[in-house]
Amino acid sequence: MDLPKDLFYTENHEWLAVDGDEATIGITEYAQEEMGDVVFVELPEVGEEFEQFDSFGVVESVKAVADVYIPVGGKVIAINEELFDQPELINEEPYDGGWLIKIKITDEDELESLMNHEEYERFLEEVD
Amino acid sequence: MIDFASWEMPLQYSGIINEHLAVRNSAGLFDASHMGEFLFKGRDALDNLQLLVTNNVARLETGQVLYTPMCNEDGGIIDDLLIYRLSAEEYMMVVNAANIEKDYQWIKKHISGDLELEDISGQYALIALQGPESLAILKEISNPQLEELKYYHFLKGRVAGIELIISRTGYTGELGYELYCFPDEAVFLWKELMKAGEKYNLLPAGLGARDTLRLEKKYCLYGNDIDEKRHPLEAGLSWTVDFSKDDFIGKECLLDYQKNGYRQKLIGFKLIDRGMARKGYKIMDKDKIIGEVSSGGYSPILEGSIGLAYVDKEYSEIDKKIDIIIRNKAVKAVIVKTPFV
C-alpha cells in the first residue's frame, strides 16, 4: 500500500494533514477498504471544539458503523458538506475529496503522539 | 471473510452495492451451503411435519416447496424453513444454519411413528443463482425444461453434467434458482456457472448483499425480525399459519392471538431525515417508546435508509411519522408499504 508520506496517522486509521496551525482530517485507504461502501456520514458543526481522541463524527457503510476520533485537539473550522450527498467520495478519494473536517489545532505538541507513514505502515502489517 | 454460524463466508466480493445491483439488474451467485438440511422418510412423515410446522404441508405435491415457520407451544418461532416434497413419504427440510442443532433436537423430541429423521446438512452444498438473467444462464449449461419450472417448485436435473436439485426459490425477490449439489462438486459447479454467466454480467455475491436484497423485499431474517419471542402473526406471516389443520404445535396460543389480538406488528419504514437506522434502535412517538428496529440499513435501489421494526399496533398505520432514536437524537421516519421495491 502506498501511503502519502506527508501525513500523520492514528491507530484508529484516521489521517491528519498539517498546514501551519490548521489541519485536515480523514480516514485512510485501509479504513475505507475495511468498511466497504460508505453510505452515511455524520459530522460536527463548525465551531465545535474537541479534545485529542474525542469522537467527532460517524462514518457508516452498508454493513458497519464506525466512530471517527480526532487525532489532535482542536476547533472545527470547516466540514466537508459534499459528503452528505456523496459519501462514496470516502471510498473513491480517501486522502482527497473524501476529507471529513478541518480544524485549528489547539496544541501542536499533541502531534508527537501520532504515527508517520513508516510507523503506520508497520502498524498495518501487524494488524493484518 | 466473516465467521457465520461457524462457517467462514465472504461478506462481500466486489462491494455490497455492486453485488446488490447485479442481482436486481442481471444476476448474482451466492454460496448458501451453510443452510441445514434434514430428511424425513417414512409412512408418518407427513403427519409429523403437519404437527411440527404452522403451514399446511398436505397442500404440497411432489416437486413443490413450502415456506413455513416452526413454532413452540407459545407460538414463538423456533425457525423459519422450507419443506420439499420429494415423494409421498419423503420430505426435505431446509433450515437456518445457526439453528441446525436446536431444530434437530426439537424435532427429535416431537416426532413419533414410522419416520426416520436424518440430518443431511453435510451431504449438500447450496449455490443460489439469483436475478432476471438467472434462467438464461442456467439454460446455457443444463437440459431440463426450466421455463416450465414454477415458483416454489423443484426438479432433479443436470447442470454442467452434475446431478442436482434445481429449486425455483430464493431470498432476493428476483427470478432465481437454488441448486443443491454434492459438496465435492460444488466448486466445479460454481466455476461453470460463473463461466456461463460471464456474458450476462453475473457476479459472485456475499452475505452483505443477501441481507440488503432480502430487506428491500421485507423477507424476515431469523435472529433479527423473528425469533422465539415473536409469533408469525405479528411478524406478518399469518399467510403461513393454517388454522384449518387439525393440530400443530403452537396452534392454541396462535388462535388466542388471532381472536384476542396482540400488541405489536412488524412494519417497514423509510428515513425522512439523513441517517441510518440499525437493529436495536428505539422508536418513539413524542415521548413514548412505541417500538424497536429489528433490521435496518441501506437500500441500494432507493438510495436511502430503510428498515423493519416492531411497533405498537395503534401506531402502525401506513404514512404514520415516527422518530427513530439514533445516538440520542430523534431522526424522522415514515411507515411505508412493503415490499420496499
> For residue B189, what is the enclosing H or E element?
helix B183-197
Task: Please provide residue A68's backbone torsions phi and psi, each rounded to the nearest 5 degrees.
Answer: -115, 140
Residues in chain A closer than 8 A to B15 (CB atoms):
36-37
B45-52 and B100-110 are packed helices; what angle lies between their axes, rounded to 10 degrees? 120
What pLDDT, on the 0 to 100 scale, is given for residue B1?
A: 67
Question: How many Å lie between the alpha carbon of A80 and the closest alpha carbon of chain B?
Answer: 15
pLDDT above 70 covers what percent of chain B? 99
Choose the closest CB to B278 out of A37, A42, A65: A65
pLDDT of residue A1: 63
**B117 neighbors B39 (Cβ within 8 angstroms):** yes
Whether residue B288 has pLDDT greater than 80:
yes
Residue A53 covered by a domain = yes
**CB proximity B183 to A under 8 Å:** no
Work out the average pLDDT over A3-24: 97
Is pLDDT above 80 for B202? yes
Partner A contacted by B278 (CB < 8 A): yes
Domain tally, chain A? 1
The CATH class of the B36-118 domain is alpha beta
Within a domain: A63: yes
pLDDT for position B6 = 73
Domain locations in chain B? 2-33+124-216, 36-118, 263-336
- With CA atoms as reference, the chain B residue closest to A36 would be B15
The dotted CATH code for B263-336 is 2.40.30.110
* CATH code of A81's domain: 2.40.50.100
CATH 3.30.1360.120 holds for B2-33+124-216: yes
In a domain? residue A128? no
Residues of chain A neighbouring B298 (CB-CB closer than 8 A)? 37, 39-40, 62
- The residue whose grid cell reads 428491500 is B216
Stretch A55-74: mean pLDDT: 96
Instruction: For A77-127, give the DSSP string.
Output: EEE-THHHH-TTHHHH-TTTTT--EEEEES-GGGGGGSB-HHHHHHHHHHH
Asked which of B8-22, B114-128, B176-190, B242-256 is least confident by mean pLDDT, the reply is B8-22
Q: What is the pLDDT of residue B10?
A: 84
Interface test with A, best of B17, B18, B329 (most A CBs within 10 A): B17
Q: Which residue range forms the structural domain that includes residue A26? A: 8-107+115-121
Look at the block and give the residue holding cell 443436470.
B158
Residue A63's pLDDT band, with cuts at 50, 70 and 90, is confident
Cell 407451544 identifies what position? B73
User: Given its phi and psi angles, is residue B6 left (phi above 0), alpha (psi -120 to 50 degrees) or beta?
Assistant: left
Q: Is B298 on the interface with A (CB under 8 A)?
A: yes
Please determine, for residue A98, whether its predicted confidence score (pLDDT) is greater than 70.
yes
- Note whether A23 and A16 are within 8 A (CB): yes
Q: For residue A68, which amino acid is it? A: V
Which of B92, B140, B120 lies closest to B183 in space, CA to CA? B120
Residue A18 lies in a domain: yes
Q: What is the pLDDT of residues B206-229, one digit of tens each?
A: 999 999 999 999 999 999 999 999
CB contacts < 8 A, A to B, total 37
**Residue among B15, B211, B305 minimizing CB distance to A36:** B15
Q: Do A58 and B327 touch (CB under 8 A)?
A: yes
B306-328 per-position pLDDT tens digit: 999 999 999 999 999 999 999 99
Q: Which residue of B has its CA nearest to A86?
A: B303
> B9 pLDDT band (50/70/90 cuts)?
confident
